[in-house]
Amino acid sequence: MAKKRKRTSDAPAAAAASAGKSDVSAPSRPERTLFGFKDKPSDDATAAAAAAAVESEPQPDSEGADTPPFRNKEKVLVTCSRRIIYRYRHLMQNIVSLLPHAKKDSKIESKQTKGSTLNEVVELRSCSSCLFFECRKQKDLYLWMFKAPGGPSVKFLVNAVHTMEELKLTGNHLKGSRPLLTFSTNFDQQPHWKLVKEMLTQIFATPKDHRKGKPFHDHVFVFSIVDDHVWFRNYQISVPHNEMDKVDKGGLDKMTLVEVGPRFCLNPIKIFGGSFGGPTLYENPYYVSPNQIRALEKRKKAGKYAKKVKAKVRRKMHEMENTLEPDEFAQLWKGED
Amino acid sequence: MVGLTGEDPVVRDEAMLDDVDTDEEESDLEDDSGEEFHDEPSKKAVYNKDGILEKLEDIAWPKNVDWRHKLTIEHDQGEKVDVNDDLSRELAFYTQALDGTRQAFEKLQSMNVRFLRPADYYAEMVKTDTHMHKIKGRLLSEKKKIEEAEERKKARESKKRAKEVQAEKNKERAKQKKEQIESVKKWRKQRQQGGFAKGNDDGPDLNFEGDEGFKQSKKKRPGVSPGDRSGGLAKNGRQGKNRKSRDSKFGHGGRKGTKKQNTAETTNDFRGFNQRGNSESKRRKMA
């Protein structure tokens, strides 16, 4: 796959270099799309070159003339580790179907070098963020969420998974319609939640005017922090058909939501500065790995047996120390037979 | 395992250990059981607030970005939600979604953007038609199950009630019979004492014409003439023309007496009379 020109603000040197290169090879020509010309990239050089084109076309975004209009070019790589179990794989596929701007890739071997492999793959697929589902011991699902070249990355433990295939969840919505994102207000209280919120927004919001997107809003995502976990829900918005034209006149009251799925719950473990690595910025003080919980349970069970053995030994010792005196009446009735 | 919604993902008080997590990779061997468990959050957990905020600024979209790019809505949950109470938790999520949707739709409405799918817009959905069919089937079968259970319950109750009613009726009947026998005996005794005096007026006061006696039901049948023996069935028109005419002639329903008698007209009516006297029916009879 060809490497595309980047326009990330956090790597200005590289961008400038690539922009310079492109200037040498060919004059920057506005790319044609269905709706007119594509918005200009943010590089200074190209922006100056294409200033005339920007001025000529009407801009819907209300921004200053000097700064190019914001354009969301998020691409999310979604992949998983090898030996993932079906349930978690279905969850991943559900998420792919919810994100029209997602790219799937083949499974990645979960070993020491998976971080660098993953970063390479993300760069090759020219994605700006990544969701990596890591399944361990055929039991535990970890979700890595990271922004591509410069980080940060967040590692979650995923609990309470329900996939879309479950028949209990009766809703349905258009594939590729842009979701509304609702966050609970406690996302704004602490810095690490703020970061998580920003990442969730960027990853889960379908870019505006995405070519696979549809121009309607018929589902809503819920991200809510309850008990220090991020809970995810996806609801279909169903408005009665005859009420559609009069949403402002009370049609909102008739609106109902039907759950579509999937459901999951994210427990943040750590936040790192880089992409899939780097300095640790946050550690969840309450986090207990599922391995420890299982070990504790096991040890409790093991303790039961050890106690029994101990009691047996103690009893034996006690009996040996305090031997019974010989019974003086033991011979009493012996002579009668 | 993870399948249940209700379970609390992490039991906090049980044990506390910080996950020994290297940046690149962690092995499963890391959590050996030699460490002790704490009841409180670990003190040595890293929390670099400045670093986080810096990173946040790095990745954040520009401040003045149009809301239509983000489509985010904040919702205040109010008081704390109990995680272990499935219903209240799901309700909190639902209200958050509903409230957020309302706010977002109002915003979109004020921007004069069309945002609802027209009724005749069909496109690919996230769930396939076969899957939705399955869901529908499940819903229907569930509904049917509930209905059946209710019906069974109703039948059971009505059966119970019917039993009671029947028992009551039997009792009533037995009582009546006893009374009548009693009254007959009494009357007999009276007659014996009175030396079998003639006279009808001192008969037993059995009211055969009353409601309880033997009698035909005198219910008024609407639309049925009093002489009709078929109980109005003949009028339903289910029978053929022939049958009807025969019935009217030979009587199936109604009193026969007057119908079979000749009247002035029928005596002079020779329609049904073969003058030659060698009709097929007669010949057959002779043979």
Residue spans of chain A under pLDDT 50: 1-3, 6-25, 40-64
**C-alpha–C-alpha distance, residues B66 and B70, integer Å:** 7
Percent of chain B with pLDDT over 70: 63
Q: Nearest-CA neighbor of B56 among A264, A150, A72?
A: A150
Say which residues have a Cβ less than 8 Å from residue A280's Cβ, sequence separation at least 6: A270, A271, A272, A273, B21, B23, B46, B48
Residue B159: HSE in the Cβ half-sphere, 13 Å Cα cutoff:
6
B104 or A247: which leads in pLDDT:
B104
Give tens-digit pLDDT for B142-175: 999 999 999 999 999 999 999 999 999 999 999 9
Rg of chain A over Cα atoms, rounded to whole angstroms, equals: 31
Q: Which pLDDT does position A13 carry in this prediction?
A: 45
pLDDT at B2: 41
Query: Among candidates A123, A140, A320, which has minimal Cα distance to B26?
Result: A140
Query: What pLDDT, on the 0 to 100 scale, is given for residue A49?
Result: 43
DSSP state at residue A137: T
pLDDT score, position A55: 43
Question: Could you give the residue ranges of the DSSP H alpha helices within B37-128?
Answer: 49-59, 67-70, 86-110
Question: Would you tell me how many other CB atoms lie within 10 Å of the CB of residue A202?
Answer: 20
- Contact of A89 with A80, CB cutoff 8 Å: yes
Pairing type for strands A153-162 and A140-147 reads antiparallel
pTM for the structure as a whole:
0.63
| Complete domains list, chain A, with CATH | 28-71 (no CATH), 76-290 (3.40.50.10480)
Pairwise CB contact (< 8 Å): B97 & A257: yes
A8 touches chain B (CB under 8 A): no
ipTM over 0.95: no
> How far is A322 from chain B, CA to nearest CA, in Å?
38
B15 C-beta neighbours (distance < 10 Å), count: 18
Report the alpha-carbon distance of residue A157 to residue A135 in Å, rounded. 10
Residue found by looking up tokens 């025969």 in the block:
B246
**CB within 8 Å: B56 and A191:** yes
Determine, for residues A293 and B14 on separate chains, whether the beta-carbon distance falls below 8 Å: yes
Residues from chain A that touch B68, judged by Cβ atoms under 8 A, are 208
Question: A129 near A76, Cβ under 8 Å?
Answer: yes
Digit-coded pLDDT (tens) for B51-98 = 999 999 989 988 888 888 889 999 888 778 888 889 999 999 999 999
Task: Give B138's contacts in chain A (Cβ within 8 Å).
Answer: 167
Alpha helices in B115-128 (DSSP H): none
What distance in Å separates the CA atoms of residue A110 and residue A132, rounded to the nearest whole number? 11
- B116·A239 Cβ contact <8 A: yes
B55 or B269: whose pLDDT is higher? B55
Query: Taking Cα atoms as reference points, which of B117, B144, B127, B97 lies closest to residue A169?
Result: B127
CB A257 to CB B117 under 8 A? no
* pLDDT of B241 strictly over 90: no
Strands A76-80 and A129-136: parallel
The Cα B287–Cα B281 span in angstroms is: 10
Q: Which of B16, B36, B52 to mutate to test the interface with A (most CBs of A within 10 A)?
A: B52
User: Which H or E run contains A121?
Assistant: helix A114-124
User: Which residue in chain B has the smallest CA separation from A297?
Assistant: B14
A232 to chain B: nearest residue by CA? B93
Nearest Cα to Cα of residue A144 among A163, A159, A130: A130
Which residues in chain A are contacts of B89 at CB distance < 8 A?
226, 231
pLDDT digits (tens, 9 = 90+) for B115-148: 888 878 888 999 999 999 999 999 999 999 999 9
Q: Write down the residue that tokens 């022939």 correspond to.
A: B242
| Substitution target from A81, A183, A202, A281 for chain B, most B beta carbons within 10 A | A281
Q: State both tokens at B217.
A: 């039901």
β-pairing, A277-283 vs A263-274, is antiparallel
Q: What is the mean pLDDT of residues B100-116?
A: 87
Q: What backbone torsions phi and psi does residue A49 show, to the nearest 5 degrees?
A: -65, -35
**Amino acid letter at A127?**
C
Mean pLDDT of all residues in B196-201? 58
* Cβ–Cβ contact A89 with B under 8 A: no
> Within 10 Å of residue B73's Cβ, how many Cβ atoms?
20
* C-alpha distances out from residue A326 to A331, A334, B64, Å: 11, 16, 98
Quote the strand ranges of B65-198, DSSP E.
72-75
Helices B49-59 & A191-204 angle (0-180, nearest 10) = 20
CA–CA separation, A222 vs B95, rounded Å?
10
Identify whether the C-beta of residue A207 lies closer than 8 Å to the C-beta of residue A271.
no
pLDDT of residue B114: 81
Q: For chain A, positions 203-232, list CB contacts with chain B under 8 A.
A: 205, 207-208, 214-218, 220, 222, 224, 226-227, 229, 231
Cβ within 8 Å, pair B10-A141:
no
* pLDDT for the residue numbered B198: 58
pLDDT computed for residue A61 by the predictor: 45
Angle at B66 (CA atoms; ends A127, A47), nearest 5 degrees: 65
User: Among residues 15-74 of chain A, which lie with CB inside 8 Å of chain B?
Assistant: 61-63, 67, 70, 72
**pLDDT for A242:** 66
| Per-residue pLDDT tens digits for A136-186 | 999 999 999 999 888 799 999 999 999 999 888 999 999 999 999 999 999
> Taking a C-beta distance cutoff of 8 angstroms, is the pair A262, A94 a contact?
yes
Alpha-carbon distance of A304 to A90, in angstroms, equals: 39
Check residue B240 and give its pLDDT.
Answer: 74
Q: How does pLDDT run across B275-287, given as a tens digit for each residue?
A: 676 655 555 555 5
CA-CA-CA-CA torsion sign (A160, A101, A148, A135): positive
List CB contacts (< 8 A) between B37 and chain A: 292, 296
Please give, rounded to a whole number of angstroms, the shortest distance from the CA of B152 to a CA of chain A. Answer: 26
Is residue B201 over pLDDT 80? Answer: no
Are residues A226 and B81 in contact, defined by beta-carbon separation less than 8 angstroms?
Answer: yes
Would you say A232 and A98 are in contact if contact means Cβ atoms under 8 Å apart? no
DSSP 8-state code for residue A239 = -
Taking Cα atoms as reference points, which of B242, B244, B220 lies closest to residue B231? B220
A vs B: CB pairs below 8 A? 294
A236 vs A238: CA distance, rounded Å:
6
Task: Please give the average per-residue pLDDT across B237-241, as a whole number.
Answer: 68
Residue contact A255–B98, C-beta within 8 A: yes
DSSP category for residue B251:
I
In sequence order, the 6+-apart residues with CB closer than 8 A to the CB of A293 are: B10, B11, B14, B15
Instruction: Identify whether the C-beta of residue A122 lies closer than 8 Å to the C-beta of residue A134.
Output: no
Q: What is the CA radius of gyration of chain B?
A: 47
